[in-house]
């Protein structure tokens, strides 16, 4: 069970820190809720305690696991369905899983696709939502600002599209130094 001060991920919303536990009456039913403060936009989310496992609430990942996530962002685009509707459903399933590795792959693929040919309105919203989920967890894992993480994500995805071999090595060393400092 989680406690006040724990850093958790609420699938489809993102990561945050449990600030409080409150008893609320909603639709005539009293339930306990975790009040989670998110690092982006100072938003607060109420999470019903009695069905946390059902919705897939989990602890944030370790720094080591987050390094794997950054590597995913730096990778090549995965094979995706050409059909917009199928691609959308596949990506939505990955996001709903709450798995940070899957969300990173969705962010990478959609950012690269956007760079190649642009995204539909639905996929652009999906990209923004997935990016916010990813960023919120990276902020908590590395204790960086939202702006620093947004830059890290953008640079990681652009990593393999714009730089030559020598620049790749320099950029990789820079990123490693920034992450080790934190």
Distance CA 54, CA 43 (A): 23
Residue 164 has pLDDT above 90, yes or no: no
Distance CA 111, CA 107 (A): 6
Query: In 22-164, which ranges are continuous DSSP H helix?
Result: 52-55, 63-74, 84-96, 100-117, 121-142, 146-162
Residue 49 has pLDDT above 70, yes or no: yes
- Backbone phi, psi, residue 116, to 5°: -75, -50
> What pLDDT does residue 42 have?
81
Which tens digit of pLDDT belongs to each residue from 89-128?
Answer: 999 999 999 999 999 999 999 999 999 888 999 999 999 9
> What pLDDT does residue 165 have?
43
> What pLDDT does residue 151 have?
95
Which tens digit of pLDDT belongs to each residue from 51-69?
Answer: 888 888 999 999 999 999 9
> What pLDDT does residue 178 have?
59
Distance CA 32, CA 20 (A): 10
């Amino acid at each position: 069970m989680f406690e006040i001060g724990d850093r958790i991920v609420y699938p489809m919303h993102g990561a945050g820190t449990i600030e409080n536990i409150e008893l609320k009456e909603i639709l005539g039913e009293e339930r306990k809720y975790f009040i989670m403060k998110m690092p982006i936009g100072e938003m607060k989310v109420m999470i019903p305690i009695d069905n946390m496992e059902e919705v897939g609430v989990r602890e944030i990942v370790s720094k080591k696991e987050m390094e794997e996530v950054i590597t995913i962002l730096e990778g090549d685009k995965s094979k995706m369905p050409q059909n917009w509707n199928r691609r959308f459903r596949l990506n939505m399933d990955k996001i709903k899983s709450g798995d940070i590795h899957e969300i990173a792959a969705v962010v990478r693929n959609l950012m690269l696709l956007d760079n190649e040919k642009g995204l539909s309105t639905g996929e652009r919203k999906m990209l923004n939502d997935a990016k916010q989920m990813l960023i919120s967890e990276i902020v908590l894992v590395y204790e960086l600002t939202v702006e620093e993480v947004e830059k890290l994500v953008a640079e990681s995805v652009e990593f393999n599209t714009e730089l030559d071999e020598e620049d790749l090595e320099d950029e990789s060393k820079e990123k490693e130094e920034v992450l080790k400092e934190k």
